[in-house]
Amino acid sequence: MDRQILPPKKPLHPWNTNKNELLSRNSSKIPQASELRGKPATEAHLFILKTRSMLYAVSIPKPCLSYPKTTFHSQNPQNLKRGGLRVSATLPKSDGVKVEYTPWLIVGLGNPGNKYHGTRHNVGFEMIERISQEERIVMNTIQSKALVGIGSIGEVPVLLAKPQGYMNFSGESVGPLAAYYQVPLRHILLIYDEMSLPNGVLRLQPKGGHGYHNGVKSVMEHLDGRREFPRFCIGIGNPPGTMDMKAFLLQKFSDAEQKEIDGALAQGVDAVRSLVLNGFNDRITRFNLGQKYKYNKV
């Protein structure tokens, strides 16, 4: 008989879950890893505990986020660096091993509404939508003025967000979300358009300034002026000739440009997955180098 995953008796938040409580409720029917492989993250968030030669998995239901009654915004940068919100599971003392995952807040910048869909200034939204599709993370909840979705990349919990207060006020969503969930600065990934890069060229950075990007500037202001958070820049090129910059940003891509952007988004999903699972390592360095010479081979 196939084993089934039984839901807990009451809703539990995946980022603040008592492992012993989960184990006691699911001890009678603990699924094998092979049974869980390929299941969408929206069906069950899996916390994997490895002990000696056996692999156990504990399941909890898809959580539902709601707008907090009181939005907490830390004025102390240290609160954002601590990373107090974690998914952890302590194994038996004989093993002496503690598995701990720090969640990621992945934010795409853009403007809400059909009017701006497909414009250059909204490629951050497009990347979030692509990640949502590939990782099967449903985005259907409003929290802190942002459309959000909660899920995981591998075993790492992630919160995807698209601020709905327009580009220049993006920080009004990012700041409260980061503070409410106590996501450390190093795990806040900001995705946005970048005119200094050719169309379709990508760049991952561990930190940086706002580069006169009003959306990034707003985010920094709501993170107490801190700049030590990763950013994923998507090149959109410069305005041709004397074209007004605002008109250029709010213009839709040409067919040729959109084809380049579509290819970049596919590469971007893989890069984000690598960053979340492995951090800024040699693979990210090679990715950036490959993007640098994407259209100028040497």
Residue 27 lies in a domain: no
- Annotated catalytic residue 121: yes
pLDDT at 294: 78
pTM here is 0.68
Residue 297 lies in a domain: no
pLDDT at 257: 95
pLDDT at 97: 57
Alpha-carbon distance values, 294 to 229, 240, 258, 282 (Å): 25, 21, 16, 18
Residue 286 lies in a domain: yes
pLDDT at 26: 36
Residue 151 lies in a domain: yes
Q: Is the dihedral of CA 218, 223, 226, 229 positive or negative?
A: negative
Give how many domains the chain has, as a whole number. Answer: 1
pLDDT at 43: 39
Angle made by CA atoms 168, 171, 177, in degrees to the nearest 5? 150
Query: CA-CA distance, 84 to 4, in Å (whole number)?
Result: 33
pLDDT at 258: 95
pLDDT at 265: 96
Residue 271 lies in a domain: yes
Tens digit of pLDDT at every position of the chain (298 positions): 444 444 443 333 444 444 344 334 333 333 444 444 454 444 333 333 332 222 222 223 333 332 233 333 333 434 333 334 444 333 344 455 556 788 999 999 999 999 999 999 999 999 999 999 999 999 999 999 999 999 999 989 999 999 999 999 999 999 999 999 989 999 999 999 999 999 999 999 999 888 789 899 999 999 989 989 999 999 999 998 889 999 999 999 999 999 999 999 999 999 999 999 999 988 898 998 888 887 765 4
pLDDT at 212: 81
Residue 100's contacts (CB-CB under 8 Å, 6 or more residues apart) are 86, 87, 88, 89
Residue 147 lies in a domain: yes
Question: One of 13, 45, 121, 187 is an active-site residue; which one?
Answer: 121
Residue 238 lies in a domain: yes
Long-range contacts of 19-25 (CB under 8 A, 24+ apart): 19/47, 19/49, 19/58, 19/88, 19/89, 19/90, 22/47, 22/58, 22/60, 23/58
pLDDT at 101: 81
pLDDT at 220: 92
- Give the CATH number for residue 252: 3.40.50.1470
Residue range(s) defining the domain that contains residue 269: 104-292
Residue 31 lies in a domain: no
pLDDT at 38: 52
